[in-house]
Structure 1
Amino acid sequence: MGSATARPSRLVRWAVPVVLGLLVAALDWYQGGPGVQYPGTLVAVPLLAATLGGPFTTAGAGVVALLLSHGIAVAESLRSGYQPYSSAAMTRLTIIAVITLVAVVASWHRTRRERSAGQVAAVADAAQLAILEPPPRRIGGLRCASAYRSATQLARIGGDLVAVVETRQGVRALVGDVQGKGLDAVRLAGYVLGSFRERAHDDLELDELAGALDTTVRRASLGQEVFVTATLVQVDGATGSLEAVSCGHPAPFLVSPGAGRARPLAVEPGPPLGLLELTGPPVALRTRLEVHDRLVLVTDGLLEARRPRLLSRSPAGPFVDAEALLAEHLADGSLSRGLDGVVRGATQWSRGRLRDDLAVLVLERPAAERLPPGAAHPSTGDERAASTSHR
């Protein structure tokens, strides 16, 4: 996310107003005449500087405008009978000076607002990163990568959830979507993420963990009828054992090397979190993640990306082919570059008009690392050290 205080470089802030002033001077020299007053447009020089730089840059641009205006008058007196110190020339200089003063004050107020906005943005950015902690690249014997794009302008996170933790049962991951948008959705997302990171380490089955998160949603909703769709998965990096639970959320996808399309897991969806008391916990799917297979968890922001109709802002066109898009970018190659391709593809398909937050999480089971002949396994060294200490 770009900084709220991002400004052009110092060279640009100084060069653009000066170039404008020189263009006005050149236009007056080659096109000016007795009835043409091009130097009057030099008031635009400090005004332009006020939009690009700070008070000192604006004041400097005003001085340049004054010098150019007087220089034009002197040059005009050399080729005609123009008086450089006439009342008209002095009035023009006075107007440029007054406009420069106004531009300096305006620039000072603008830079103060930008500095304040930058501080607020920095605090908000830190708070958002604390809520949505990026997952590690490797965890529990798996490779891991995630991508997140908020539909809210200038926000890093929205109502989508992404979290990965390593537990005694294996790697547990959560991808979800909070009902609604705005600060209320972010608040509820923070509650659910915090509860998941804490309760995932408890000795709970995956469906029981979903029940614990359901309780969190009902308590955090403050009596309002809100819910959170979520998919929970548990993967053993050593054996490939995979469990998945869907609480009203799209099923995870499996992408195999060289596959032309991603394959959705046949997980039976249950009610969203916050509504599980109506039917009880969802049914867990148990399967296996093969070596080099990639497990992809997504939110509706990807699946519901639509191409707008021509010359219309209504997203009434066809949906993106998510299964083909995932396979195209994630069947082979780097996880991070593949995720960049997925987000870029969905954004291009919707012509930059994603209407919902987009989150994608990928877990890959790599091949077991082969040790050189004669090299001891890391755990063997630990066991030998422990054995030696007992002797």
Structure 2
Amino acid sequence: MELGTRRDGPLPLRLLPFVAMAVISVIDFSAGPSVGYLPLLALGPAFASLFGGVPRTLSVGVLAIVLCTLLAGYNDLLGAFRTNLTFVSIAGVTAAGTLAAVYRQRRERELADVRNIAEVAQRVLLRPMPRRVGPVRATVRYVSAAAGARIGGDLYEVVQTARGVRIIVGDVQGKGLDAVETAAVVLGAFREAAYDEPDLHGVAERIERALARQLGSEQFVTAVLAEVHEKDGVTLLNRGHPPPLLIRSDASVTTLDPPEHAPPLGLAVLVDDPAPVGKVDLSPGDQLLLYTDGVIEARNAEGVFYPLSERAGVLSADDPEEALDGLQADLLSYVGAPLDDDAAMLLLRRRV
């Protein structure tokens, strides 16, 4: 919880009902009985109900009635029709504000329950990343474009198998719950196929079959599948996804474009031959960055895309966690606003 904030809202909002009633009281006291600002005291409980709970709204309403009584007594207006009408107005606004606060707090509790469920779903769908897996250290960051959400259509997974460390980073076409459901299908198929299939083509075909039962004819999932070996470097299979970046230990950056362009997962029927794989050496200290298009399609205030290759130097920190934190912070600083699309970044660093 941030300094100066509480469940009832930031400090300025919590003070607003009291400031409003204080100002109205001073003005009414100064103007005398001829003007009549007393009805404006109903603003106090009205403001309180916007951000406060039931006790706070009731207490502000009682305070408004007390102030109205004192000011009316000072102006010799107790018992006057205008004063009685003011009491009724304050009581009515307080009652309505209390009822509104009850319904608002109920919605807030329901929203909190939904967020708790979403967090549990995230832990099941996007499991915590092992910091060390095989010959590499793995780090991941996920930035959701949905306000208050931690999960969307981007996906990632890293598993240790007998054939090496197998990785997937992907992006589901579309947004919302349908995208999350499709991501769950892809990850479920990958987690099974990664242990069973002899190569990445077999893993991709298993995912294709799972998606054929899930997706419509024009839906797809872009993805990069990778296999990290103890001695033979990394094998990459790119299915319509942004190419990974290879950051050597000497800070040189290479974009790993696929040997041939291949359709995304879910659209394999468009081609006859399987997509070719690419291979690259990964020496100790080298890093491989896999990411989704939410990173490279993020724009700054001038509409310029985030230059990932040029910014890859921020990944030079000794700790991969700090390196990826730096890249995420640089991305958000460059955009200067919430992202328009989900962004996932997975950094693999070959252990020295």
Q: Distance in 2 between matches of 1:337 and 1:291?
A: 18
Corresponding position of 2:54? 55
Amino acid at match of 1:135: M
Alpha-carbon spacing, 1:336–1:25, altered in 2? closer, same or farther (3 Å):
farther
- RMSD (Å), alpha carbons: 2.5
Shift of residue 209, structure 1, vs aligned partner:
1.5
Amino acid at match of 1:284: V
Corresponding position of 1:212? 206
Q: Distance in 2 between matches of 1:264 and 1:161?
A: 21
Corresponding position of 1:21? 21
Cα deviation, 1:168-200, whole Å, max 9, x if unaligned, reads 122111001122223222211110011111111
Q: Distance in 1 between matches of 2:338 and 2:14?
A: 36
Matched, 1:132 2:126: yes
Of residues 242, 247, 263, the one that matches 2:254 is 263
**Equivalent pair of 1:18/1:64 in contact (CA under 8 Å):** no
Shift of residue 13, structure 1, vs aligned partner:
7.5
**Equivalent pair of 1:243/1:285 in contact (CA under 8 Å):** yes
Cα deviation, 1:250-283, whole Å, max 9, x if unaligned, reads 2211123462x63212432422112334233222
**Equivalent pair of 1:254/1:296 in contact (CA under 8 Å):** yes
Which consecutive unaligned segments of at least 5 residues does structure 1 have? 310-316, 368-391
Of residues 319, 323, 326, the one that matches 2:312 is 326
Corresponding position of 2:296? 303
**Equivalent pair of 1:257/1:332 in contact (CA under 8 Å):** no
Q: Distance in 2 between matches of 1:334 and 1:27?
A: 61
% identical aligned pairs: 36
> For 2:195, what is the secondary structure of its paired residue?
coil
**Equivalent pair of 1:242/1:289 in contact (CA under 8 Å):** yes
Alpha-carbon spacing, 1:342–1:27, altered in 2? closer, same or farther (3 Å):
farther
Of residues 330, 336, 339, the one that matches 1:354 is 339
Amino acid at match of 1:362: L
Q: Distance in 2 between matches of 1:36 and 1:267?
A: 79
Amino acid at match of 1:255: I
Cα deviation, 1:7-34, whole Å, max 9, x if unaligned, reads 33698786543343233323433x4234
Aligned 1:81-230 pairs, distance under 5 A: 82-221=76-215, 223-230=216-223
Cα deviation, 1:38-60, whole Å, max 9, x if unaligned, reads 33211011111111122222111
> For 2:213, what is the secondary structure of its paired residue?
helix
TM-score by length of 2: 0.88
Q: Distance in 1 between matches of 2:349 and 2:154?
A: 22
Matched, 1:36 2:35: yes
Shift of residue 203, structure 1, vs aligned partner:
4.2
Q: Distance in 1 between matches of 2:316 and 2:231?
A: 21
Amino acid at match of 1:287: V
Amino acid at match of 1:324: E
Amino acid at match of 1:297: L
Corresponding position of 1:272? 264
TM-score by length of 1: 0.80
**Equivalent pair of 1:307/1:319 in contact (CA under 8 Å):** yes
Corresponding position of 1:385? none
Matched, 1:247 2:239: yes
Aligned residue pairs total 346
Corresponding position of 2:283? 290
**Equivalent pair of 2:245/2:288 in contact (CA under 8 Å):** yes
**Equivalent pair of 2:9/2:52 in contact (CA under 8 Å):** no
Q: Distance in 1 between matches of 2:96 and 2:337?
A: 39
**Equivalent pair of 2:25/2:71 in contact (CA under 8 Å):** yes
Q: Distance in 2 between matches of 1:106 and 1:37?
A: 28
> For 1:270, what is the secondary structure of its paired residue?
coil
Q: Distance in 2 between matches of 1:355 and 1:319?
A: 12
Cα deviation, 1:48-106, whole Å, max 9, x if unaligned, reads 111112222211110011111112233x34xxxx3444333232222211211111111
Which consecutive unaligned segments of at least 5 residues does structure 2 have? none
Q: If you compute each CA radius of gyration, which structure gives the higher value, 1 or 2?
A: 1
Q: Distance in 2 between matches of 1:27 and 1:166?
A: 73
Alpha-carbon spacing, 1:280–1:161, altered in 2? closer, same or farther (3 Å):
farther
> For 2:152, what is the secondary structure of its paired residue?
coil
> For 1:207, what is the secondary structure of its paired residue?
helix
Corresponding position of 2:224? 231
